[in-house]
Chains A and B, each alone.
Chain A
Amino acid sequence: MVSALGIQLGVVGVYLVVALAVGLLAYRLTSKNAEDYYLAGRSIGTVVLLFTTFATLLSAFTFFGGPDLAFRAGPEWILVMGVMDGVLFAILWYVVGYKQWLVGKAHGYVTLGEMLGDRFGSKRLRAVVAGISLFWLFPYVMLQQMGAGEAIVGLTNGIVPYWAGAAGITVFMIAYVVIAGLRGVAWTDTLQGLFMLGVVWLAVGWVATAAGGPSALSNALATNKPEFLALGGGLYSPQFIISTAVTIAFGVAMFPQINQRFFVAKSGTVLKRSFALWPVLVVLLFVPAFILGTWAAGLGISVPEGANVLPVLLNEYTPVWFAALVVAGAMAAMMSSSDSMLLSGSSYFTRDLYRPFVDASLSEDREAWIARIGVALFATLTFVASLFRPGTLIEVGDTAFGGFAQMALPVIIALYWAKTNRTGMFAGILGGQAFYLAHVFLPTVEIAGVSVFGPTYLTWDFALWGMLLSAVLTLGVSAFTATAPEENQSRFSEGLRAD
């Protein structure tokens, strides 16, 4: 057991150090070309754009949360994530992403808050958008630390405690951003993404072979978990599938690191290619990752308290070093996507909050240092919060996505309806957030026989009702209030050029 533990920790440690070294090298090689601090001079090509966006999917939510849910509730999670990411998000990639790319190119925007603040002539709106984004980024970074902690518990069968895994990834995360600087993340995202895609398929092949092939595995499911083979049932009602897919898809489009990528493409061609390849990439990642969790249920794997199913399954059916390699790869991928989040988060903080409100004459050097200190502080706070284990990986992730989703419809309305005004935007964004926060934090109460602040209304998730409310408020208030003189109504419609 000691030797197995030695191999596990050795593989994880070496992989993380190598990943850090590659990041440093990539940074040294690329930083001189990066004209622009955050956007690499709007010069990101198809492969890198696709994979840096893809890398955001390579988070604890996908690698550990998804298989856990498939293990507990069945493989329908593949459909939820498929329709969410492969189809709905791809459409939003066009509707929000392409439009934002055109607008950003015409006026030189770098953040969502900057774009909206300029259009509606309001520094305050800019700050509200940045503040809300940072607020919901917090649980999502925390999710990565929880995932790492749980993965280490599963891999070492509880010998290494949860907090050590979470602390480990926090230290690496901060080191990556502070030492390697805030550039070159896209590069390592691409390498990590390709590596993980390969390794997940190897894992599927290995487990399938060791357990007697896919047919033997589905027979095991039919015997031990017959309800898993039938579509629907249990957790998976049509309402659950639709609500979850819709809120996550719209939430993802408002995620700082995703939304900022909408500004970085080199040309329209890059966005087109990425758009068409998206459903294929999604299937290639989600099907193997979640089918592993499902198979584990059929094989009767028992998962220790507070661990993820994936490392436990791999330990049982593949060599120790391979299981450790998958966990290390997943942790490194989570680390690099956390860095993208922290990078975008720090640009929201410095550009939309610090510069406009604290020190407008901030030098670039000082801005870089404030960003680094901010990142270290943010990651430390999320680490502390992760020790309290406020929910499962899926619950925490879902809460964060839902929070971002409340901003999506006001933003889309603003992008396409020139009559949207500042008051309408404030009403839609703040109204949606207030509604959503009340449902996340307040206990359910009965008022005249109706449950208020409960998880659903008429069987539909409250996050969906919040989105509806945000849209109604934005449209309604804009229609009945006057436009402020500082607003630039034609900002999002005139002067857009595709070439």
Chain B
Amino acid sequence: MTRARIDYVWIATFAVLVTFAVPWFLWGDSRVFAGLPLWLWWHIGWMGLTAVVFHLFTRRAWDRGIVDGVR
């Protein structure tokens, strides 16, 4: 992939991470699992996933869009 293409992939990834930190598809859902609402479990899991993706970003794409000529 070209450099610009990879930039767009990361921007899209971040957009997805922001968008689904709130489980919109569970709107109005009141199912409970182990004492907490299902939608809260989704959020907790999603934040864990976000941390992993952020870690990958720091390893593979840090400086992207900020310092020219790196990678």
A residues with CB within 8 A of B:
75, 78-79, 82-83, 86-88, 90-91, 94, 98-99, 102, 213-215, 217-218, 222, 226, 229-233, 238, 241, 268, 272-273, 275-280, 282-283, 287, 291, 493, 496-498
Say whether A230 contacts B66, CB under 8 Å: no
B26 CB–A CB distance under 8 Å: yes
Query: Quick one: given A75-B37, A86-B50, A291-B36, are A498 and B63 in contact (CB under 8 Å)?
Result: yes
B32 CB–A CB distance under 8 Å: yes
Cα distance A241–B39 in the bound complex, in angstroms: 15
B residues with CB within 8 A of A:
14, 17-18, 21-24, 26-30, 32, 34-37, 39-40, 43-44, 47-48, 50-51, 54-55, 57-58, 62-63, 66-68, 70
Say whether B30 contacts A79, CB under 8 Å: no
Say whether B37 contacts A231, CB under 8 Å: yes
Kindly list chain A residues whose C-beta atoms are within 8 Å of the C-beta of B50.
86-87, 90, 279
The 5 tightest CB contacts between A and B, nearest first, are A214-B35, A230-B30, A83-B21, A272-B58, A276-B55
Kindly list chain A residues whose C-beta atoms are within 8 Å of the C-beta of B30.
222, 226, 229-231
Kindly list chain B residues whose C-beta atoms are within 8 Å of the C-beta of A238.
24, 27
Query: Quick one: given A230-B29, A230-B30, A272-B58, are A82 and B67 in contact (CB under 8 Å)?
Result: no
Cα distance A429–B34 in the bound complex, in angstroms: 48
Say whether B34 contacts A215, CB under 8 Å: yes
Say whether A496 contacts B66, CB under 8 Å: yes
Say whether B29 contacts A231, CB under 8 Å: yes
Say whether A82 contacts B18, CB under 8 Å: no
Cα distance A276–B49 in the bound complex, in angstroms: 11
Contact among B47, B57, B62 with A82 in the assembled complex (CB-CB below 8 Å): B47
Say whether B44 contacts A268, CB under 8 Å: no
Query: Quick one: given A279-B51, A280-B48, A280-B51, are A498 and B70 in contact (CB under 8 Å)?
Result: yes
Cα distance A90–B57 in the bound complex, in angstroms: 12
Kindly list chain A residues whose C-beta atoms are within 8 Å of the C-beta of B28.
230-233
Say whether A78 contacts B14, CB under 8 Å: no
